[in-house]
Amino acid sequence: MSIEALTEADDGPRSKRPAILAAAVECFGEVGYEATKWSEVADRVGIGQTALYHYFESKAHCLLTIMRLGLRNSDAAFREATAGASSSSDALRAAVEAAYALSPQEVQQNRILQSNIALLANERASRREETERQACRELVAQVEHNWAELLERGMAAGEFPRRDPQMMARSLLGLVVGVWRWYRPGGPLELRTISDFITGCCVRMVAGREPDAG
Amino acid sequence: MSIEALTEADDGPRSKRPAILAAAVECFGEVGYEATKWSEVADRVGIGQTALYHYFESKAHCLLTIMRLGLRNSDAAFREATAGASSSSDALRAAVEAAYALSPQEVQQNRILQSNIALLANERASRREETERQACRELVAQVEHNWAELLERGMAAGEFPRRDPQMMARSLLGLVVGVWRWYRPGGPLELRTISDFITGCCVRMVAGREPDAG
């Protein structure tokens, strides 16, 4: 794992948090969140239960943290990729490509995020879990906003035909993240090939005109 | 719930199975699968735990059955919608529209299916759960195959530009089912509006040509 994907500004050099998160990403990715034993995560890091609970009060708290960091990374990658774009079409291509410029471990983190996204719908009983859930929801809204803003700018400039920017943003995101359901690192399709394919789909969806109905 | 959406050929008129499934769809839809108490489902139907266990050995068994029936309905709706189409473009439009021609309760069933799709990745310890999981996986493959076949036919006829039909089928499905993440019955957007919007996106993705790069 590019350790930054799971690190926060306030993690000191001796913090075990990033290592716990990396082990949890491995476990959740291998057997799924539901089937993962929380004690297995501690075993992989080589720490005891007490140390584990110092960082995370529950398996759900750890999962929600992984999800929040995945969303934080997506938000940051979008901003970085689109900052220098000379047109909205270029920005759109760069945003889609950035969504797939990931290490296998970051792919796993994104798959976990998408597989468990329904968890964000309902309030959590624990305060720390609920704090993470709220932060995730704000980041989901922020990511949607990033895409909608890019689309609005392109429509205002006449680069893209006018269509509902929020519905288009959600549609693009559904298409882009839908890949994490079926893509597996080491499978028959290279991520680079998928990235090019989905970029083409997004460009036609946003910038294309309806072909003449037969 | 249009009760057919949750009924099987071998359910007799006195079977409580469809009613249990309908109550479970309500519960899973309201508070999520994880937070639903299995006993709450029995209470809603007005049956005891013994009767409940006669039909389903676990909450997961019930969930996997709901998922299988949702997939079965999608497969059937696709076939029915596309059977009379006079061109592949018409078939594509009909297939997307059929995916949204649903009652609010069927929408809930689809949301539950998509929210829990990651459950299909890993083997179940129980035999009955594993049987349902395998049936779900076969139906997922069948649904993908339906879409890929439609695309291949359109490409062979020269209606659609040649692109990888399997990757395109998965992309269309990701776009179509991605709506269940954010659409809520009674929300600001009508399902009919979303259906038209996504149909346009799918047609441009499949039949559109790349606009000239800036």
Asked if pLDDT for residue B1 goes beyond 50, the answer is: no
Contact between chains at A204 and B208 (C-beta distance less than 8 A): yes
Q: Which domain holds residue A104?
A: 59-207
Does residue A23 lie in a domain region?
no
Does residue B34 lie in a domain region?
no
Q: Chain A neighbours among B 121-160 (CB < 8 Å)?
A: 121-122, 159
pLDDT of residue A7: 84
Enter the DSSP assignment of A4. Answer: G
pLDDT of residue B209: 82
pLDDT of residue A214: 43
Angstroms from A3 CA to nearest CA on chain B:
25
Does residue B144 lie in a domain region?
yes
Does residue B168 lie in a domain region?
yes
Complete DSSP assignment for A32-75: -TTT--HHHHHHHHT--HHHHHHH-SSHHHHHHHHHHHHHHHHH
Digit-coded pLDDT (tens) for A83-132: 999 999 999 999 999 999 999 999 999 999 999 998 999 899 899 999 99
Angstroms from B139 CA to nearest CA on chain A:
15
User: Which residue positions in chain A have pLDDT lower than 50?
Assistant: 1, 213-214
Distance CA A174, CA B91 (A): 22
Which chain B positions have a beta carbon within 8 Å of A168's beta carbon? 201
pLDDT of residue A87: 97
Does residue B14 lie in a domain region?
no
B201 token code pair: 């996106």
Which chain B positions have a beta carbon within 8 Å of A32's beta carbon? 118-119, 121-122
Does residue A27 lie in a domain region?
no
Instruction: Tell me the ipTM for this assembly.
Output: 0.92
Contact between chains at A204 and B204 (C-beta distance less than 8 A): yes
pLDDT of residue A211: 64
Contacts of range A130-136, beta carbons closer than 8 Å, 24 or more positions apart: A132/A61, A132/A64, A132/A65, A132/A67, A132/A68, A133/A64, A135/A68, A136/A64, A136/A67, A136/A68, A136/A71
| Domain count for chain A | 1
pLDDT of residue B4: 77
Which chain B positions have a beta carbon within 8 Å of A179's beta carbon? 170-171, 174
Contact between chains at B197 and A122 (C-beta distance less than 8 A): no
The pLDDT confidence band at residue B7, using thresholds 50, 70 and 90, is: confident
Enter the DSSP assignment of B213. Answer: P
Span B191-208, average pLDDT: 97
The pLDDT confidence band at residue B212, using thresholds 50, 70 and 90, is: low
B158 token code pair: 């020269």
Digit-coded pLDDT (tens) for B181-192: 999 888 889 999
B170 token code pair: 């998965």
Q: Please, which residues have CB within 8 angstroms of residue A36's CB and are 6 or more apart in sequence?
A: A24, A27, A28, A59
B93 token code pair: 């439009």
Q: What is the CATH number for A146?
A: 1.10.357.10
Q: Please, which residues have CB within 8 angstroms of residue B88's CB and are 6 or more apart in sequence?
A: B150, B151, B153, B154, B157, B159, B160
Q: Please state, rounded to an integer, the average pLDDT across all residues of chain B.
A: 93
**What is the residue type of B167?**
M
Distance CA A79, CA B26 (A): 39
Does residue A41 lie in a domain region?
no
Does residue A9 lie in a domain region?
no
Distance from the first to the final alpha carbon of chain A: 50
Distance CA A135, CA A137 (A): 5
B156 token code pair: 């062979």
> Could you count the other beta carbons within 10 Å of the beta carbon of residue A195?
19
Distance CA B8, CA B55 (A): 13
The pLDDT confidence band at residue B214, using thresholds 50, 70 and 90, is: very low
Is the alpha carbon torsion for A168, A171, A175, A178 positive or negative? positive
- Which among B177, B203, B211 has CB closest to A210? B203
CA distances from A56 to A25, A36, A47, A53, B20 (A): 14, 15, 13, 5, 37
pLDDT of residue A5: 80
Q: Is A120 on the interface with B (CB under 8 A)?
A: no
Q: Which of B114, B163, B201 to mutate to test the interface with A (most CBs of A within 10 A)?
A: B201
Digit-coded pLDDT (tens) for B112-167: 999 999 899 989 989 999 999 999 999 999 999 999 999 999 999 999 999 999 99
Phi, psi (rounded to 5 degrees) for B119: -60, -20
Q: Chain B neighbours among A 55-114 (CB < 8 Å)?
A: 86-87, 89-90, 111
